[in-house]
Amino acid sequence: MTADHLCYLTITETAAGLRRKEFSPVELTKACLARIEAIDGKLHSFITLTADLALQKAEQAEQELHAGKDRGPLHGIPIALKDLYATKGVRTTCHSAVLEDWIPDHDAAAVNRLQEAGAILLGKLGMHEFAFGGPSVDAPFPAVRNPWNTAHIPGGSSSGSGAALAAGLCYGALGSDTGGSIRTPSSHCGIVGIKPTYGRVSRDGVVPLSWSLDHAGPMARSVEDCAILLQAIAGYDSKDPASANVAVPDFHDRLPDGIKGLRVGVPRAHWFDENKGTDPETEAVFDNALKTLESLGAVIVEIDGKAFSIARKANQTILVCEAYAYHEKTLQATPMKFGSSVRRRMLEAAFLSAADYITAQRARSVLNDQIRANFSRVDVFATPSAPRPPEAFATMDPNEQNLRPNFTNPFNLTGLPAISVPCGFTPGNLPVGLQIAARPFDEATCFRVACAYEQTTEWYKRRPPV
């Protein structure tokens, strides 16, 4: 097996290989570190590498597995974290000069759970500054580049997570999603990412962008891998006030169940039209994905998308107000420490009123009811994950990145689980993602639909030319 082949195995394949002793956690970790060393100079997906710590943990995992102490499918698997997850003793920057030297004295709850599962931390990944704005062109760390074409953005804000996975630099990663920040880079980098239901994964130790919209979640190279990661990090946590005390099902169990008879709602009318600039190639790829779902036995139901379209406005108003409230002191004291894109978006909220914020939260109630009412007619919603393929850095305006229409915001506003799975490529060989959203706490259905689609099409097996 070549080193490249080893780095592109799925978590499931890797876990099986470890137990067959085809390779060891130390060999896996060394292979990832060597690949990072060889190609990440072109991608900038890592901000901080924790090579020594990773090798130490890999040796520990090797000894434990050898001694028969098996912690499950993530034991000995190298992973990486978006650089807003607090990591004890490891710099956590949020890709910002504001936190350039912050070394937390605690681990985020999700990080703790991954460590308990035996995963090995390779390092901290680049992102959009404070998970907001556009690619960070004026931050202390370079903007992450897309492995499919380094002249293009990887999508954000979990840009490093998307790029590192697509480039075979780690086997799994955590991202966060306040308006689409897991699903957009998953779509743009040709990988899988799920924003779980609000409350499913603890936000404890995740630097906030917007408390009522932030979701922590996993990203990986296959649906099954994503389910394995979510299984490890999901569950009630008393340290997160929004954490839901809801039983966590076995996400793996229902993966092979298929989708015969499943009703797939497509909120096209009054929404896809609103997305001016929706790339026709993206929509064509999406329509082909719907045909595939239909061929697998799903029933496609066109539904009205008006409430979904308006949801974006409420989401953005809430987001900027909560982000400003969190960063107010720093914006007053040292505003120029923030990059221009994130600074200007956050500062907008200084000129909105308390009534504006409450209005958006009231609109959230109305839109949430309207969107969920569709579940009497459909079982899931399907849209493209992003309306356009990833833009080129040369023509991209970072200040406009968060203002563009998108298909992801409504599922932050409603807290519904939503997954992005690769569904094809544009003629320019840039990935396109299919988004599937389900009822609250029904991530299992997201996984089931995405898995059925993935296994039929195998887009996820394509590799970028890095």
Question: Which positions lie near another protein, rule CB under 8 A?
Answer: 212, 238-239, 241, 310, 313-314, 316-317, 320, 331-332, 335, 340, 344-345, 347-352, 356-368, 399, 403
CB 305 within 8 A of CB 270: yes
> Cβ(285)–Cβ(385) under 8 Å?
no
Q: Which is nearer to another protein, 48 or 212 (CB)?
A: 212
Q: Which of 24, 45, 96, 181 is catalytic?
A: 181
Q: Cβ of residue 88: shortest distance to another protein, in angstroms?
A: 18
Instruction: For the CB of residue 156, give the shortest distance to another protein in the complex, in Å.
Output: 18
Active site residue 313: no
- Could you tell me the smallest distance in angstroms from the CB atom of residue 212 to another protein? 6
Nearer to another protein, 10 or 368 (CB): 368
Closer to another protein at the Cβ: 12 or 361? Answer: 361
Q: What is the nearest approach in angstroms of another protein to the Cβ of residue 333? A: 9
In the complex with another protein, the residue whose CB is nearer, 38 or 403, is: 403
Residue 413: CB minimum distance to another protein, A: 8
Annotated active-site residue 157? The verdict is yes
Q: Which of 82, 159, 212, 341 is catalytic?
A: 82
Helix axes 443-457 and 280-295, enclosed angle (nearest 10): 100
- Catalytic residue, from 45, 157, 243, 341: name it: 157
Name which of 21 and 276 has its Cβ closer to another protein: 276
Q: Which residues are catalytic?
A: 82, 157, 181
